[in-house]
């Protein structure tokens, strides 16, 4: 995918409950003291790995992590795993009437230092 979308809006994933992995690479041109990763909107729980190392888990906003000790000058890998709840797959009487939250990573994603 070239852009971030609500995964529950895709027909084949409308009832998906589980974990979705996003992967990308980014370049850091110089050594900096503090590097922050801001994920924007996330539905629901997220775990972030930078260069193969777990940089943290967030279960609610703000979805922001300091990733300074995991980044290197040059090319870095970023993996983001988003896990939603079972409500998409196993709907009870209350969740059938309620508006459903989106699924996945909606962003915007920002790296700041």
User: For residue range 14-62, what is the model confidence (pLDDT) as tens digits?
Assistant: 777 889 999 999 999 887 889 999 999 999 899 999 999 999 999 999 9
What are the backbone dihedrals phi and psi of residue 44, each rounded to the nearest 5 degrees, phi first?
Answer: -130, -70
Could you tell me the strand order of the sheet in which 36-38 lies?
A: 64-66, 36-38, 110-112
Q: What is the pTM of this model?
A: 0.82
CATH of range 7-89+99-112; options 1.10.10.10, 2.30.30.100, 2.60.120.260, 1.10.260.40: 2.60.120.260
Contact in structure between 42 and 58 (CB atoms under 8 Å): yes
Question: What value does the mean pLDDT take over residues 4-9?
Answer: 76
Is pLDDT at 8 greater than 90 in this prediction? no
Per residue in 63-93, pLDDT (tens digit) is 999 999 999 999 999 999 999 876 655 566 6
Sign of CA dihedral 104, 5, 79, 30: negative
């Amino acid at each position: 995918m070239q852009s971030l979308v609500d995964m529950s809006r895709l027909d084949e994933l409308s009832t998906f409950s589980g974990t979705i992995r996003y992967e990308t690479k980014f370049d850091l041109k110089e050594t900096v003291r503090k590097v922050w990763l801001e994920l924007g909107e996330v539905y629901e729980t997220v775990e972030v790995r930078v260069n193969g190392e777990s940089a943290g888990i967030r279960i609610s906003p703000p979805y922001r992590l300091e990733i300074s000790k995991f980044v290197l000058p040059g090319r870095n890998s970023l993996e983001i795993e988003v896990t939603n709840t079972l409500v998409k797959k196993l709907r009870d009487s209350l969740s059938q009437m309620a508006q459903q939250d989106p699924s996945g990573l909606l962003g915007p994603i920002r790296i700041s230092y």
